[in-house]
Structure 1
């Protein structure tokens, strides 16, 4: 599994979340919502330095974006693409095999 993040999404994280070099962002499943890969589950994120059980990660501009082993099931063999939705002014996720 791979993680990809667009330049616009990186800017959003820095501006809206206040990320700085050395920070780590964990993506995880939440029970409510919906996604293209899991019905009744969606994706959330939090700033979390505990990436010891990371199974996928990417470091861009000094910030690490990662997924822990416990949440790998959510992606069902898909890669995670993190984009920026200009209309909603928030990050958006896409999943591709």
Structure 2
């Protein structure tokens, strides 16, 4: 599994979540909503330090990660974080190799 971020998504995290060099952005599983992978679960995001990061990617000093306990949610998929211009927010896609 890997995490990919578009330039627009990185900019959104910097502006909306005040993500700066040395910060951590976590993608986590939350109960509720739906996703293409699991009905009843969706992807959440928070600004917090990792406990047991399974997957990380670093851009401009900010580390984006998924905890080991949340890897099941991705079901063998990569997380691609794009941007929805109409909603002005990140858009999540799940891809396989």
Q: TM-score range by the shorter chain?
A: over 0.9
Equivalent runs, 1:39-54 vs 2, <5 Å = 39-49=39-49, 51-54=50-53
Unpaired segments ≥5 residues, structure 1 = none
Deviation track 1:20-46 (CA, whole Å, cap 9, x = no partner) reads 110001110111000111111000010
Give the TM-score, by structure 2 length. Answer: 0.96
- Considering only aligned residues, what root-mean-square deviation do their CA atoms show, in Å? 0.7
Provide the C-alpha distance between the structure 1 equivalents of 2:16 and 2:68, rounded to a whole number of angstroms.
Answer: 27
- Measure how far apart 1:52 and its partner are: 3.5
Name the SS for the 1:40 alignment partner.
Answer: strand
Provide the C-alpha distance between the structure 1 equivalents of 2:65 and 2:51, rounded to a whole number of angstroms.
Answer: 10
Deviation track 1:38-86 (CA, whole Å, cap 9, x = no partner) reads 111000010011x241110100000000000000000000000001111
Unpaired segments ≥5 residues, structure 2 = none
Q: What residue number does 2:28 align with?
A: 28
Where in structure 1 do 4 or more consecutive aligned residues deviate above 4 Å? none
Judging by fraction of residues, say which structure has more strand. 2
Provide the C-alpha distance between the structure 2 equivalents of 1:12 and 1:58, rounded to a whole number of angstroms.
Answer: 16
